[in-house]
């Protein structure tokens, strides 16, 4: 009987560990949510246009992530926006990391078309999906 209870506890614990989301998945979901939040906070009119990677091929993901991280630093809050919340969202998004696959990418940030900050953030959210 004692063995049966121990087995059931072990089975329950191992099942719970397998169903828990990985920390990386949770981090990516948090970053994606902050990107969506930034869309409503960012200054879009009279703002600097940003290089926006689109249709990124597998070998160029690292370059695209770097471009988005650099562009995020150039975003400005809309007038009347809470600077604390905006700064916190930028800080969280800036923590995004991507391990390079080792492939060489021919494209650079400057090779991508410039778009408005809101379109830039939509492109970033699409990449995160």
pLDDT in tens, 21-40: 677 777 878 888 888 888 88
> For residue 30, what pLDDT is reported?
85
pLDDT at 1 over 80: no
Total number of residues shown for the chain: 129
DSSP-assigned letter for residue 109: G
> Residue 58 has what pLDDT?
77
**How far apart are alpha carbons 89 and 103 in whole angstroms?**
31
pLDDT digits (tens, 9 = 90+) for 3-24: 777 766 766 666 666 555 677 7
H runs (alpha helix) in 20-116:
23-41, 61-73, 83-94
pLDDT of residue 29: 84
pLDDT of residue 19: 58
pLDDT digits (tens, 9 = 90+) for 70-116: 998 899 888 877 788 888 988 888 888 777 665 677 888 888 899 99
Residue with tokens 């121990």: 6
Find all residues with CB under 8 Å of 27, minimum gap 6, and list them.
95
Q: Which two tokens stand for residue 98?
A: 């991507």
How far, in Å, CA of 4 to CA of 1, rounded? 5
Q: Tell which CATH architecture fits domain 25-101+108-128.
A: Up-down Bundle (1.20)
Of the candidates 40, 20, 17, the one whose C-alpha atom is nearest the C-alpha of residue 89 is 40
pLDDT for position 59: 79
pLDDT at 117 over 80: yes
């Amino acid at each position: 009987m004692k063995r049966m209870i121990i087995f059931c506890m072990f089975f329950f614990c191992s099942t719970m560990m397998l169903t828990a989301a990985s920390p990386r998945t949770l981090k990516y979901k948090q970053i994606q949510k902050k990107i969506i939040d930034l869309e409503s906070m960012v200054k879009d009119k009279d703002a600097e246009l940003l290089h926006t990677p689109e249709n990124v091929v597998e070998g160029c993901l690292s370059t695209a992530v770097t471009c988005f991280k650099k562009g995020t630093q150039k975003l400005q809050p809309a007038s009347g926006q809470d600077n604390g919340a905006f700064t916190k969202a930028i800080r969280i998004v800036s923590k995004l990391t991507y391990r390079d696959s080792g492939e060489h990418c021919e494209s650079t940030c400057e090779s991508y078309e410039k778009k408005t900050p809101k379109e830039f953030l939509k492109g970033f959210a699409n990449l995160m999906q």
